[in-house]
Structure 1
Amino acid sequence: MPALPEIAAACQAMRLGVSASELHGGLCGWLCGGGENSPQWLRRVLVDEDLPAPGSGDPLDALRLASAAQLEDRDFGFELLLPDANDSLEARSGALFDWCRGFVGGFGLATGAEPPLSEEGSEALADLAQLARATAEPDGDEEDEAAYAEIEEFVRVAALLLHGDCALGPRHRRSLN
């Protein structure tokens, strides 16, 4: 997986208008919703047909390939592209909420209005949408750090659950028929 600063620099160079975390969330939402894993992902996720497809070796193409592989990993090695623990809680939680905003948007683009969700998937998506509306608080203590860690893990697991509902489930049903 490319590092956050590398993706942030690519976003800035292309003048995408989204943070690296939000872009990764959008990509993951797209893939979890069953969107096509192709070099054209950027124009689909950002709904801009004029965007060029990231070329082979480009950090944004590496992001796509790594994210798709992590989502398919049977050992649940999926990770969110977020600032590391050295950054402030405000910066990390803001990036997590950005990631959720991107995810919900990308997921909706891939699935449409009626995604084939389990009851748990519906609840997870509603919770992600609520997190997407949240804003970061400037101060935090140890309790807030613990809450952040729990929320980050919830988001990671929710994305995997939705990937199972909308990408893996339909693929397995087709292979059985």
Structure 2
Amino acid sequence: MSDHVSLPPLADLAAELRELDSGLGPSELHGSLCGWLSGGGAPDRERWLAALMSEPGAPSPAPDSALGRLFGASVAQLDSPDFGFELLLPAEDQPVSARGDGLLAWCRGFLGGFGLAAGAEPPLSEESREALADLARIAASELTYEEPEADEEALAEVAEFVRVAVMLLHSDCVLGPRHRRRLN
């Protein structure tokens, strides 16, 4: 049985981000948070939002707020042994263009958060370096939507690639060092 922790609804996060006047969308913020955590950033419930927004005085989200639940679910999903990690993207009932734009924003956020936490030369395997470069190419992409069925398929494949790449990077930068520390 899985102890999967669900991400909060995108609309709830969007409302809280508007209240903070953050300028970030929910997908981009989730990408930033996952990048921060995957790059070895401290899973600090009190200061994560301030760190990602580069605003030291930003308030700490209440644990039961959508932002607080986003943090808790993201930490739990990335650390989950059952690979239950999910990307926070617009829902399946949204147009493929909105979901594609959400995926690009997620990737841009991830790269920013990862760079902030991991620094210029993170200790990555060759496979992780390639995955990071692929994430950068995805983030820099300009999507066109001409064939709805093929676009749906391609978006699902790219989203799954991103999900696996994130787990690989998290493993190199966080899980591997954590396991080595336990062995020593």
Relative distance call for 1:91 and 1:30 in structure 2 (3 A) is: same
- The equivalent residue for 1:114 is 121
**Aligned partner of 1:84 among 81, 91, 95:** 91
Q: 1:164 aligns with which of 166, 171, 177?
A: 171
Per-residue deviation, 1:41: 0.5
Q: CA deviation at 1:137?
A: 2.6
Q: Of residues 33, 55, 58 in structure 2, which corresponds to 1:51?
A: 58
How many pairs align?
177
Unaligned runs of 5+ in 1: none
Is the aligned partner of 1:19 residue 2:15?
Answer: no
In the alignment, which residue of structure 1 is the partner of 2:13? 7
Q: Which whole-Å CA distance do the structure 1 matches of 2:138 and 2:112 have between them? A: 13
Aligned with 2:140 (options 130, 133, 138): 133
**Cα drift, residue 134 of structure 1:** 1.6
Q: Structure 2 length as normaliser, TM-score?
A: 0.93
1:141-166 CA distance string (max 9 Å, x none): 21111111100000000000000000
Contact 2:13 2:26 in 1 (8 A): yes
**Aligned-residue offset at 1:67:** 0.5
8 Å contact kept, 1:22–1:100: yes
Give the TM-score, by structure 1 length: 0.97
The RMSD of aligned alpha carbons is 1.0
Q: Which deviates further from its counterpart, 132-141 or 111-120?
A: 132-141
- Indicate the percent of aligned positions where both proteins have the same amino acid: 54
Superposition deviation, residue 58 in structure 1: 1.5
Give the match for residue 103 of structure 2: 96
3-state SS in 2 of match to 1:51: coil
